Amino acid sequence: MPLRLATTARNAAVNAVVDLLDVGTTNPSGRILIYSGAQPATPQTAASGTLLATVALANPAAGAASNGVATITDPAAVTGVAAGTAGWCRFVDRDNNAVMDGDVTATGGGGVIELSTTTISVGVTIDLGAITYTQPQ
């Protein structure tokens, strides 16, 4: 039989991960960095591609988990700082330490972040929509 976590354990795991986004003192909040190209092998691997946009998170970055899911609190819209096609993202804490990486797709593409378009242009705002972090059962 597969391992299954109790809801309390799932919530604790989710809260532990999203709380890492609030650690540190260098920046006022954690951030999501959106890059072009392919996602690195791990969050410990140096970022690759071009930094296309930086999204400031609220502090705290997420509300308390419920049923193993936490919602990132009102992420700011993305405004491009470089032109390119978004391929992946890195969530970093307030001291710029990587917490987690994920893919970026167009809406409906199933990415960790889904953008209305993956084409980022300088100065053009793109809506992020809701972002959640889920701990599987």
pLDDT per position as a tens digit, 21-68: 999 999 999 999 999 999 999 999 999 999 999 999 999 999 999 999
Tell me the CA distances in angstroms from 133 to 19, 42, 63, 64, 125, one per residue in order: 11, 17, 11, 11, 23
Rounded to a whole number of angstroms, the distance between the first and last alpha carbons of the chain is 13
Share of the chain above pLDDT 90, in %: 80
pLDDT over 90 (residue 76): no
DSSP string across the chain: ------HHHHHHHHHHHHHGGG--SSSSS-EEEEEESPPPSSTTSPP-S-EEEEEEPPSSSB---BTTEEEB--PPPEEBSS-EEEEEEEEE-TTS-EEEEEEEEETTS--SEEES-SEE-BT-EE-----EEE---
Q: Pick 24 or 116 by higher pLDDT.
A: 24
Decide: residue 12, CB within 10 A, 0-12 exposed, 13-18 middle, 19+ buried. middle
Domain spans, the chain: 7-134
Decide: pTM greater than 0.75.
Answer: yes
Torsion sign (Cα): 88, 92, 97, 99? negative
- In this predicted structure, what is the pLDDT of residue 137? 85
How far, in whole angstroms, is CA 76 from its chain's centroid?
12
- In this predicted structure, what is the pLDDT of residue 82? 97
